[in-house]
Each structure stands twice: as C-alpha cells, then as structure tokens.
Structure 1
Amino acid sequence: MSDPRLTPDPSIITTDQPAQITLPVVDLCRSPSDPRDRQLLFGDALRLLNSSAGWSYVQSEKDGYCGYIPADSHGPAAAPTHKVSASATHAYTGGDFKSPDQMRLSHGARVTVIGQDGKFAQTAAGFIPAQHLMPIDQFRNDPATIAALYLGTPYLWGGNSRDGIDCSGLVQAALLACAIPCPGDSDMQMALGQEATAPYQRNDLLFWKGHVALVTDSDTLIHANASAMACTYEPITNAIARIATQGDGPVTAHRRL
C-alpha cells in the first residue's frame, strides 16, 4: 500500500510545475484543515500539483513529502547557488548589519546570490552575511556537528527549522547537510544505514517508538525531545531509562550510517 506522505494523490493533480518556497518557514499539511506534518524552508524546491481556494498541493523535492501549503507561500522556481550554513541568519535591506533586517532564515534555507556588497551576499531575500552561506554543491561530513547547530532550539512537533524542530526534523537536517538522503519522519528513517550493536559510535541513530536520536559519542546523544522541550544533549543510559519510565518503551532500532 502506498504511503500518502510520499505518494501524490492522482485525483488532486491538475498540473506539474516546478516552484520554490518564498517565505522563511512554511507548514506542510496533510489537508488544509489539518495541523502541520512537516515544514519547508525558504528556497526549498517543489512540484506544484494543484492550486485552488488559497491552497497549493505540492510535493517537496528534498524528501518527496506531499501536502498543502498556502498559495502565497511559493513562487517560480529558481536555481539556488548557496544555502545557509549557520544555525540561522538575517537578510538585510542593504550590505550593512545596521540596515533593517527584513527576513530571518534558518539553517538549510536555499538562496540565489546575484551580487556582492562587501561582506554581504545580495539575494532576492535581501543582503545576507557571506560567512553564513556556503555553495549549494558543498556539504559537511559530520552530521553530529550539524545537529549541534540546533542546540537550544525549542521543540516543535513537525518542526524543521532553527525556530522550532522535532526529533526527525533534526536528524533530517543533519543528514541532508552531509549529502545523506533522509526522509522526514522517524519511522521512515529506520531504514537508513545498517543494523548495529553496541558500543555506540558517533552518528549512529537510536530509535524508539515515534522517536529518534543521533549519537555524538559512546555515552551521549543529541535529540529534539518533548521532555526538555528543546534540542539537547543527554547521556544515552539516562535517555533509555527515562523514555522507558515514561511509558514509551525500549530502543527499537540501532542503525549505523
């Protein structure tokens, strides 16, 4: 049976056009009346499959997720040249950090640089500090380092940005930044890598029912969790005991990338 998260509904499709997100963060919903399933970031590429009554039915290119977004949250597709490599940044009205900021962009947002003004890159979103960007075709090589950029980020169910993130959103952001394809939800992420056993190694994935965490060393993990309502480090043994005590059961999978 096909997964509706990843399979466009053929009864809805009326077009198939490339598009991209034009707002900092946009909720992706199963239907216009549903809460968010996931989120999309500025510059994320889409397939626009339908647009009516103020909503657009789309499929995200980065992970294949399907859903509805507001029709005013996307625009024509462009070829991004850079992506935000800092945890977050601002786009200013000019190439000066004292100029008004007009947009906050999360790590992973994609932009097209059209010019340079001193230490600022000019984009359609505004002028962004060049040190906060990296070329679109360059990647990091350590997911745990990327995950650390999100430390302290508030927990948000279905969140995918530095403003709010959940467990699978954190893992996806960390892996995509390292050129490792990664689906959006923890049940699908359990297919990543190979089955592993202790001792734990950096960048291993640990799964519970409805939860995933990224190992940072043999004793520690990082995860966005509802216990702290934030992205935090936690000793692995403490996390295993706490999650079992709160009724969510034992570790269900240990995967090595």
Structure 2
Amino acid sequence: MSKCQIIRPVVDLLDQPEGARQRQLIWGEQVTVKDKQGGWAQIVAAKDGYPGYVPSAALAAAVQTTHWVSAVATHVYTRPDFKSPDLHSLSFGSQVQLLSQGERFSETPDGFIPTPHLSPLELHLKDPVAVAELFLGTPYLWGGNSRLGIDCSGLVQASLLACGLPCPGDSGPQERALGNYAPPNGGNYRRGDLLFWKGHVALVRDCETLVHANAFHMAVALEPLQPAIDRILAQGDGAVTAHKRLL
C-alpha cells in the first residue's frame, strides 16, 4: 500500500472500475492505494475511510499540503496575475502546498492561487451552517462533493470537516456517528442541528429554516423547516428518522 493524493480538481470515486459514482474526491485529498490494475487504483480516502476506485492518472505521490481552499471556489493561474491564463478551478476544501505566500497571490507547485482564498490547514471554521451557506445555489449532484455539484451528505461532510469535526461520507453512517444528543419531542430546533430521513440529511439554519442539498430544488437551498418536513413526507420519502445535536 502507498500514500497518494488527488491531482484533479474533482474525481469520481467509483464502486468498481468503470462503475457507478459513490462519492467524489477533490484536489489534494490524501488516499491510501491498495492496488493498481489496468489504469485503475483501488483506494481508501483518508478523510473518512471511504473505499472505491479512481483512475490511476488522477493520483500522484503524496506531498505535505500546507493550506486549504476556504473560498467556495478559486482558480489556479499560470502567473501571479488575475489576467494570466487559469489552469484549474478548485473547490472549497481542496488542499495545496504553498511554496511562497504573497499579499495577493501564493505560489504552489501547480500555479498561483489568490492568497485571500487560502487558509492554513490547522485553521478551522466555527459554524458548519455558515459553511453550508457558501454552497447555496450549487447544483445537486448525487454523490457530489464539490462546488460543481454536491448532494446532501456531501454538503454536511464539507461543512463539518471545515470546522474540524470528523464526518462520514454518506447520510446513513452520518446518522449513526454524529451527535450524542437528540432533542426531545421532535422540536427545540437550534442552528447546527442535523435532521435525518432515510437517505437524506439537512442542517438546521434556525428554528424555522433548513439548508440542504436536495433533488426537489436540484440545488443547495434554504427551505422553511416544517414545510420541508411535510413535503418530504407527502412525496413518499418518510418521516424524520433522527434529530441530532453536535456538542
């Protein structure tokens, strides 16, 4: 087994070579490679232990990353000049190695990134809901994990990881792993609470509003809390299965 990292802005994590997307990995994410055959690598993601397959060409030997993209998205430029050609678009959470840091641009081995879009790896945000709100309007994509497209559990994971909180990749494991307190009587909603349904998860923005990536809006959207609960029940997707609070 070897340690590698993702060198594409976004890559699908498949259940088998040429198979179905289960999740996605983004630039700089660390993985353990278990096997390589026929242009495919069998890997396990370091952030959450998610297994799957990615093209071998999407990997390079792991290096020590120093910063992460804390803007919802950014560009990598050929020169420290916003008019120079852009090489890549990176999503929130991507990890990079800085060679030098300037007031406006920072140099990486792959080009120059606007310095205000970067934060040191050790810097964590404080409010998962504020992170989720960065993604408002992002298209819904089943299994998505980036600003280009994201699903409900991908949004929750990105929001919690940015705040230094471990988080599985799928809503089922999230329901089992997250929160050691369940508010009583299906009420008492507080900012940052998590509501779970079978196959879905949402963040409570305030006592009257959810923020979630959902297939009804086909985007990350704000939705009135109780009408959302009623809508999901009416469309046949069931009642809330858990209300969790992170302490």
TM class, shorter-length: over 0.9
Q: 1:209 and 1:97, CA in 2 relative to 1: closer, same or farther beyond 3 A?
A: same
- Residue 120, structure 1, aligned to residue 109, structure 2: no
- Structure 2 distance, partners of 1:119, 1:51, is 40
- Structure 2 distance, partners of 1:77, 1:200, is 42
- 1:2-13 aligned within 5 A: none
- Structure 2 distance, partners of 1:24, 1:181, is 22
- 1:203-214 aligned within 5 A: 203-214=192-203
Q: What number of residue pairs does the alignment pair up? A: 242
| Letter matched to residue 105 of structure 1 | L
Query: Which of structure 1's runs of 4+ aligned residues deviate more than 4 A?
Result: none
| Letter matched to residue 44 of structure 1 | E
Checking the alignment, whether the CA contact within 8 Å between 1:87 and 1:107 is kept in structure 2 is yes
Q: CA RMSD in A?
A: 0.8
Which consecutive residues of structure 1, in runs of 5 or more, have no partner in the other structure?
A: 1-15
Q: CA deviation at 1:117?
A: 4.7
Structure 2 partner of 1:11:
none
State the percentage of identical aligned residues: 54
Q: CA deviation at 1:84?
A: 0.1
Structure 2 partner of 1:229:
218
- Structure 2 distance, partners of 1:19, 1:168, is 24
- 1:169-184 aligned within 5 A: 169-184=154-169
SS at match of 1:174: helix
Checking the alignment, whether the CA contact within 8 Å between 1:103 and 1:125 is kept in structure 2 is no
Structure 2 partner of 1:57:
42
Structure 1 partner of 2:232:
243
Structure 1 partner of 2:58:
73
- Structure 2 distance, partners of 1:179, 1:36, is 26
Structure 2 partner of 1:141:
126
Q: CA deviation at 1:118?
A: 4.7
Which consecutive residues of structure 2, in runs of 5 or more, have no partner in the other structure?
A: none
Checking the alignment, whether the CA contact within 8 Å between 2:233 and 2:239 is kept in structure 1 is yes
SS at match of 1:190: helix
Q: CA deviation at 1:115?
A: 1.5
CA-to-partner distance for each residue in 1:229-250, whole Å, 9 max, x for gaps?
A: 0000001111101101110011
Q: CA deviation at 1:34?
A: 1.7
Checking the alignment, whether the CA contact within 8 Å between 1:95 and 1:117 is kept in structure 2 is no
Checking the alignment, whether the CA contact within 8 Å between 2:68 and 2:94 is kept in structure 1 is yes
